[in-house]
Amino acid sequence: MKKWFAAGLLALAIGYTVYGLHTLTLVTSSGRPAAGFFPLLIGVLLIVSCTVNLWGDVREWLEEKRTGIVPVHQADPEAEAKADALGVDAHAIDGGPEFGRDVLIVFLYICGFVAIMNVVGAFLAMLAFMLVYLFTFNRAHPVSNAIYALALPASLYGLFKILLNASLPVGPLGL
Partner 1 sequence: MLADIASNLSLGLSVAASPEGFLFLVIGAFLGMIVGLFPGFGPAAGIAVLIPMTFGLQPTIAIIMLAGIYYGSMYGGTITSILINTPGESATVASTIDGYPLAQKGRAGPALVMQAIASFFGGTIGVILITALAPSLANFAASFGPSEYFLIIAVGLLMLTTMMGDNKFKGFISALIGFAIGTIGVDVMSGQQRYTFGSPELIGGVYFVAVAIGLFGIGELLHCIFNGQHRQPAKRLRISFRDKEFWPSRNDYHESRWTFWRGSAIGFVAGVLPGSGATLGSIIGYSVEKKVAKDPEKFGKGEMRGLVAPEAANNAASAGAMVPLLSLGIPGSGATAVLLGAFLMWGLQPGPLLIVNDPEFVWGLIASMYLGNMILIAMSIFAIPLFVKFLDIPYVNVVPVIVLLCVIGAFAINASIVETWILVLSGLVGFAMKKYGYSPAATVLALVLGSMAEETFLQTYIISQGTMNLFWERPVSLVLSIVLLTVIVTPIALSILSRIKGGTSKMNKGTP
Between 27 and 65, name the residue whose CB sits nearer to partner 1.
27
Shorter beta-carbon distance to partner 1: residue 56 or 142: 56
By CB under 8 A, residue 24 contacts partner 1: yes
- The contact mask relative to partner 1 for 57-86 (x = CB under 8 A, - = no) is ----------------xxxxxxxxxxxxxx
Residue from the set 11, 18, 21, 56 that interacts with partner 1 by CB under 8 A: 56
Query: Which residue from 100, 143, 172, 173 is in contact with partner 1, where contact means CB under 8 A?
Result: 100
CA 21 to CA 15: how far, in whole Å?
10
Binding test (CB under 8 A) with partner 1, winner from 68, 96, 172, 174: 96
- Tell me the number of residues near partner 1 by CB under 8 A: 83
Residues 134-173 that bind partner 1 (CB under 8 A): 134, 137-138, 148, 152-153, 156, 159-160, 163-169
- Answer yes or no whether residue 98 interacts with partner 1 by CB under 8 A: yes
